[in-house]
Structure 1
Amino acid sequence: MEFAFTNTIEGTMVKSMLARHGISKRLLAKVKFDGGKIHVNGEEHNAIHRLHKDDVVTVTVPDEPDNEKLIPDDVPLNVLFEDDHYLVVEKPAGKPSITGSLHPTGAMSNAVKGYISRKNYANQTVHIITRLDRDTSGIMFLAKHRYAHALMVQHKFRDSLEKRYFAIVKAEGLLDSGEIDLPIGRRDDSIIQRQVRFDEKAKTARTSFAVCERKNDLALLDITLHTGRTHQIRVHFSHLGYPLMGDDLYGGNHDLISRQALHCHHLQFLHPFTDEMVHVELDMPEDMKKLLIE
């Protein structure tokens, strides 16, 4: 792929100008050693070439090869948004986001690998930007090449990223809206579970919510994550005494639903290449809808 930039600072080096546009040293090394090129006003140069103001720098990024260790799954993939740079898909409940050492197939990473293999895209590497717990359903966000992935880590674009979730909890005593600002860390006796804790092992975690429906003594919550801690929504609501329906890891049970009632229904982000806000919505799945049917 090719990306072009116009220099604005007299005398700056190519590598410094590219760094301001989110091209990391690691990516620049890929350009240098894996068959990429750098051109300034149509002439090939290296990364330490000094630029004049208004010089146009074109970077040719080499295609990303197939990762032979990631096995493609030939399964349907519900694509919610796609362009040359990003891919947004639906993850069903019960499917892990990434492949594990004991389970080399069956994850969303395998499904996406199968999709990009069938499409025969030039870049065959799977770049996951946001992931979901195995039993959480909803929207997953991926990049289609390493530069697109790197840009979403930059503050401007990372801060534009918003994820909202539907969750269902017992309604009794729950306020109509609120914000939970409680730090989260790993439990000392578990490698999986997290908890609210107030020591050096905890990290800031902030969650806001609004009740959008009350039915059958349950509340449907629309939740916004302001931080991205592991199990953040599940831990926060369990700590307050409102474990998610079906979440037996954090105090719920499977009486009404076989998995935690949690679904990522909204994603928005500022697109680094178009400078437009992208909004993606996904309807709540049937197993959660059934909890709210009279």
Structure 2
Amino acid sequence: MLESKQKNREVLLVCVEPGFGGQRIDNFLLRILKGVPRSYVYRILRRGEVRVNKGRKKVGYRLQEGDIVRIPPVRVAEEEVMPSVGKRQLEQLEQSIIYEDERLLVLSKPSGMAVHGGSGLSFGVIEAFRQLRPDQRQLELVHRLDRDTSGCLLISKKRSALRVLHELMRSNAIDKRYLALVSGKWHGDKADIDVPLLKNTLRGGERVVMVDPRGKQAQTRFRVRERFHRCTLLEARLMTGRTHQIRVHAAHLGTPILGDRKYGDQDANKAMHNQGLKRLFLHAESICFRWPDEKQDQVFQAPLETSLVNLLSSMKR
């Protein structure tokens, strides 16, 4: 992206470079206007203050190569423009890479690290990788994981790869499977859950996702992997990708995920904490898809972190 030499508090003209065509204008602006609240970005779009080739565009407009984007004067906190990621976090992320080629980067995201900055966080995984790889200017998250969820996370290295992967996601051609340790016993071996989820409802002042007929369709397929005395290890396959979907569906079944402070059982969480569970037991174990015109699937697996392996071993004993 070629920017004018004007400061962010003045009018900014940006030319869309080759490789960035096809990106939604809202995502384009969020990347340029570091430190600017997301709500403000959408406000200036709705008001028509952002122009593309001198014309107004809707939030969902996809930019084309060579488009000239006019961005109105915006105040950006200097310290938020380029968040600095600590050396320890950068080393941790470098070590978490499980696959990389010219199109894609796959990592086993650590629990406790957000995938992107915002909501009081100066950086996340994507900001860290942009700092690690300053020459790779097209790095983008393909999908998201909750901050406390670990496991397989895809980052595209080219806009063309991102478009393909998003199309595969829309056509449900990406198979994502998770491991979840839930409180309570399962009597059957599997369950297919299809109940709608409503995002950002209030419960005691806290924003949560709830089962609600007004919500969006959400489907999860659960299968028992292993049974323990007072809990069950499940495999969860996402058929849709709603916020907190596995966590809310597991709680809806009466077997909430252990370590879940938002939707879980406090007494069960406390008991498992005493056994060594210090985090949410939800792990994106594998992801599988096939690139168009290729004959073999791409299959990636992220191992459980040592603390979770040790916990399962102790419960077997």
Distance 2:296 2:146 in 1: 29
Q: Equivalent of 1:270, from 275, 290, 296? A: 290
Matched letter for residue 281 of structure 1: Q
Is 1:244 the counterpart of 2:244 in the alignment? no
Larger Rg: 1
Alpha-carbon offset, residue 71 of structure 1: 4.3
Is the 1:162–1:225 Cα contact (8 Å) retained in structure 2? yes
Query: Match of 2:250, SS?
Result: helix
The reply on whether 1:32 has 2:45 as its aligned counterpart is no
Q: CA deviation at 1:113?
A: 1.7
Residues 186 and 285 from structure 1, CA distance in 2 versus in 1: closer, same or farther, beyond 3 angstroms?
same
Q: Distance in 2 between matches of 1:210 and 1:196?
A: 21
Which is helix-richer, 1 or 2? Answer: 2
Amino acid in the other structure paired with 1:94: G
2:97 is the counterpart of 1:82: no
Q: Report the Cα distance in structure 1 between the residues aligned to 2:82 and 2:171, rounded to whole angstroms.
A: 29
Identify if the C-alpha distance between structure 1 residues 216 and 267 changes in structure 2 by more than 3 Å, giving closer, same or farther. Answer: same
Structure-2 change in CA distance of 1:272 and 1:80 (3 Å)? farther
Distance in 1, matches of 2:260 and 2:117, equals 22
Q: Which residue of 2 aligns with 1:285?
A: 305
Matched, 1:260 2:292: no
> For residues 188 and 100 of structure 1, what CA distance do their matches in structure 2 show?
20
Q: Is the 8 A contact 2:141 2:155 kept in 1?
A: yes
Q: 1:212 aligns with which of 208, 225, 233?
A: 225
Is the partner of 2:116 in helix, strand or coil? coil
1:32 partner amino acid: G
Taking structure 1 as reference, are residues 146 and 139 closer, same or farther at Cα in structure 2, changes over 3 Å only?
same
Percent identical across equivalent pairs? 29
| Equivalent in the alignment of 2:212 | 197
Q: CA deviation at 1:218?
A: 1.8
Report the equivalent of 1:166.
179
Secondary structure at the aligned position of 1:31 is classed as coil
> 1:173, CA displacement in angstroms?
4.0
Given the alignment, which residue of 100, 116, 120 partners 2:133?
116
Q: State the partner residue of 2:196.
A: 183
* RMSD across aligned positions (CA): 2.8
Q: Check the 8 A contact 1:205/1:226 in 2, yes or no.
A: yes
1:197 and 1:115 map into 2 onto residues whose CA distance is: 42
In the alignment of these two chains, the number of paired residues is 234
Give the structure 1 partner of residue 165 of structure 2. Answer: 152
TM-score relative to the length of structure 1:
0.71
**2:201 counterpart SS class:** coil
Q: Distance in 2 between matches of 1:89 and 1:158?
A: 23
- Residue aligned with 1:193, SS: strand
Distance 2:182 2:238 in 1: 17
Per the alignment, in what secondary structure is the counterpart of residue 94 of structure 1?
coil
Give the conservation status (yes or no) of the 8 Å contact 2:177–2:284.
yes
In structure 2, the CA distance between the partners of 1:173 and 1:88, relative to structure 1 (3 Å rule), is: closer
Q: Quick check: 1:92 aligned with 2:110? A: yes
**What 5-or-longer segments of structure 2 have no aligned partner?**
1-20, 26-61, 69-79
Unaligned segments of structure 1, at least 5 residues: 1-22, 35-66
Change (3 A) 1:159 1:135: same
Q: CA deviation at 1:212?
A: 1.1
| Paired residues for 1:42-81 under 5 Å | 69=82, 71=84, 73-74=86-87, 75-76=90-91, 77=94, 78-81=96-99
For each residue in 1:243-263, what CA deviation from the matched residue of structure 2 results, as whole angstroms up to 9, or x when unmatched?
100112102333222222100
Q: Answer whether contact 2:108 2:151 (CA < 8 A) is retained.
A: yes
Distance 2:238 2:169 in 1: 17
Contact 1:151-1:157 within 8 A present in 2 as well:
no
Structure 2 Cα separation of the partners of residues 162 and 192 of structure 1: 29
Task: Give the TM-score normalised by the residue count of structure 2.
Answer: 0.66
Tell me the alpha carbon deviations over residues 192-238 of structure 1, each in whole angstroms, 9 at most, x when there is no partner.
Answer: 31011112xx0000000111111232211111000000000000010
The 10-residue stretch of structure 1 (144-153 or 68-77) with the greater mean CA deviation from structure 2 = 68-77
